[in-house]
Structure 1
Amino acid sequence: MIGLGPLEPLLADDAITDIMVNGPSRTFAEQRGKLVEMPVRFRDAGHLLNIAQRIASAVGRRVDESSPMVDARLADGSRVNIVVPPLALDGACISIRKFARRTIGFRELVEFRSLSEPMARALEIIGRCRLNVIISGGTGSGKTTLLNAMSRPIEATERVITIEDAAELQLQQPHVVRLETRPPNLEGQGQVTQRDLVRNALRMRPDRIIIGEVRGAEAFDMLQAMNTGHDGSMSTIHANNPRDALSRVENMVLMAGMNLPSRAIRQQIAGAVNVIVQVQRMRDGVRRITHVTELVGMEGDVILTQDLFTFEFRGENRDGILEGRYAATGLRPRFAERLAYFGQEAAWNAATTGV
């Protein structure tokens, strides 16, 4: 790895997931779910700027007064965002989302209290039965980690195409094609967007398409893919709850310039997406799945949903850990026929009702 000076011990610490440098004298890190100020100092603003430029140049990018913001990636896959003066008033800011050295599955997520064992079994069944899933949550809530876990049941015989702005997914299957967007060069040429990649992926004979995060007009093409036989496709989205996620997808489809009435867009969403999984980073630092919500159709102009699992908050213990329980609602899912087709009906009933 290129020399990163004072940041190297933080990058080597497996307990740290995020590093945030706010100028030469203030550095914070997320350590075991909590934000902590670290005893890290740079010699001066020039030393910090030099390291920021070193990170950018390693991936063929430039960061300076004329181009003061840049996204980059370290050699180990960690994602980096850099902002330098004059935009950053107190010196260069570097935000690093560390790349996980080991893949985290449902067993580890249960140990982290992110979900219950029955919920983990249900999500594994959802992945195995090739349901279309959107994982919704805020920044740093664990969406990508959960997407990695939900990809584990994918069969080795399936051709999977992943599309990301910055490669973070760690699929373990042998037949995976990884695609990554490309920003424009300094002349504004050569950009390849997620929408370009989704459209091209449809020509590559995919069984599933997995989009790391849907942010804009590519939402329309994602819905088209889900509605045209690419079952088991998945993505993440920034949203605070399942209903908000639906509104965001609708707005993103409008960004594609499609002159469609709202009802038609909602019909596309209701027909394409089977399940929304809501994940939230709570104030005790634990990332919890708060809803597993199924889309069940339309009533008038409204998309109907039903919760299959929820997290019921009950209070806080003496150690500041939030307490509650993960509860199955016991409602029969609309995708029950899909469960039977894949031979998972008994396993689903055991996970959701204990029978």
Structure 2
Amino acid sequence: MTIEIKAPTFPESVADGTVATWHKQPGEAVSRDELLVDIETDKVVLEIVAPADGAISEIIKAEGDTVLSDELIGHFEEGAGAVPTPEAEPAAATEPAASAEIKLSPAARKMVEENNLKGVAIVATGKGGLVTKEDVVKHLSNATPAAPAATAAAPAPIMEMDAGDKIEKRVPMTRLRKRIAERLLEATSTTAMLTTFNEVNMEPVMTLRKQYKDLFEKTHNGVRLGFMGFFVKAACEALKRYPAVNASIDGDDIVYHGYQDIGVAVSSDKGLVVPVLRDVENMGLATVEDTIRSYGSRARDGKLGLEEMQGGTFTITNGGVFGSLLSTPILNPPQTAILGMHKIQDRPMAVNGEVKILPMMYLALSYDHRLIDGKEAVQFLVCIKELLEDPARILLEI
């Protein structure tokens, strides 16, 4: 039975996607739920798995092609196995053949077209005499010096190039990285962004964490007590007191949100993503910590869903995990403020006329000056500082 392979259903905020990688080729046997293809969108990489045991019978959309929501990208034959290889083909696979006379994988076909290799003999090592992307790359690397000169104007493939004693590598920018770049440029060019700084004594939070972390983990079924939970809850309380920081600008209107949906920036191999904690005002510290840890794990595995990164009224980013001592975070439009956390570092501080060594952290609040005045931004940041330096106030909401 033939089954249609379709692109996922994209939400309204995502117009289209790009076929990133076909993990299986036509005729190659696959098991049910085995990964077939990755679809990359502006926000996340989506995976399409095999609907049953069988094999791909046809690939309609090749790697690099743009696809729309629910668009047909291939066909799957349920119950089919690997394409049988004729007896004469093993010998043929070891000898060059004209690329026009043999089967090409989608990625190989694209590279052949880009490098004007139609009709050129390429050694096929894939199943059933299939020319793979690696075969084309190997052919290019073994080509005579005259061959590259004829294709100098063609787009460069993903490969290392010898430039004397220096090695350069040209890699196409991923769709997610392009979108991140667009968003960052949009934020810096369309907002009146300003950053204010303060510092917080982390000793009270660290003492509280040290005192209760074992009991906390035991009580909440293995959920570890970290620092992010305190910052999220402190930010939530401060957002209630300063609603303009929790607002957004829509054209000539100001939209005040009666809820606190806080995004937490998470770094992954594919780029920075910002999953959102919904209704933080109704979440306990353990729920916040557990959700953040789940988001971080799934972001690294590329398992975050689009719906988990939609919306958000405020964002927190933590450069301190990478050792950053001070930075100016960039806004995440249409939000009007973002809080930057940094490295906790022991520093000599004056306390009641005495010098003490305390674990200090710099805090940075970037905000849109079109909506938030400097006074309000500073008071918001001071509010977070006071809540963290006396964590009991978070629970008492005072």
Q: TM-score, normalised by structure 1?
A: 0.26
Which is greater in Rg? 2
TM-score by length of 2: 0.24
